[in-house]
Amino acid sequence: MAKILGAALPNIPWQERPAKCRGPLWRYSENPIIQRDATANSNSVFNSAVVPFEGGFAGVFRCDSRSVSMDIFAGFSADGIHWNIEDTPLHFEGDPAVTKREYRYDPRCCKLGDRYYITWCNGAHGPTIGLAWTQDFKVFHQEENAFLPYNRNGVLFPRRIGGNYMMLSRPSDTGHTPFGDIFCSQSPDMVYWGRHRWVMGTVPGDASAWQSKKIGPGAVPIETDEGWLLIYHGVINTCNGFVYRMGCALLDTEKPWIVKARSRNYILAPQELYECVGDVPNVTFPCAALTDAASGRIAVYYGCADTVTGLAFTTVDALMEWMKEYPLEEV
Provide the pLDDT for residue 146: 98
Domain ranges of the chain: 26-325
Residue 329 has pLDDT above 90, yes or no: no
Residue 139 has pLDDT above 70, yes or no: yes
Non-local (6+) Cβ contacts of 328 within 8 A are 203, 207, 208, 262, 263, 264
Provide the pLDDT for residue 261: 98
**pLDDT digit string, tens, across residues 16-71:** 999 999 999 999 999 999 999 999 999 999 999 999 999 999 999 999 999 999 99
Q: Which fold has domain 26-325?
A: Tachylectin-2; Chain A (2.115.10)
Half-sphere exposure of 31 (CA within 13 A, CB side): 26
**pLDDT digit string, tens, across residues 200-247:** 999 998 999 999 999 999 999 999 999 999 999 999 999 999 999 999
Residue 330 has pLDDT above 80, yes or no: no
Rounded percentage of the chain residues whose pLDDT exceeds 90: 98
Cα separations (Å) of 213 from 7, 21, 238? 36, 28, 10
DSSP state letters, 79-101: SSSS-EE-SS---EES-HHHH--
Q: Supply the mean pLDDT for the chain.
A: 97
Provide the pLDDT for residue 331: 58
Label residue 15 by pLDDT band (50, 70, 90). very high
Rounded percentage of the chain residues whose pLDDT exceeds 70: 100
- Its pTM surpasses 0.95: yes
Residue 4 has pLDDT above 70, yes or no: yes
Give phi and psi for 323, each to the nearest 5. Answer: -65, -30
Label residue 88 by pLDDT band (50, 70, 90). very high
d(CA 58, CA 75): 6
Q: Is 197 helix (H, G, I), strand (E, B) or coil?
A: strand
| Pair 124, 174: CB distance under 8 Å | no
d(CA 330, CA 81): 38
**pLDDT digit string, tens, across residues 273-313:** 999 999 999 999 999 999 999 999 999 999 999 999 999 99
Provide the pLDDT for residue 21: 95
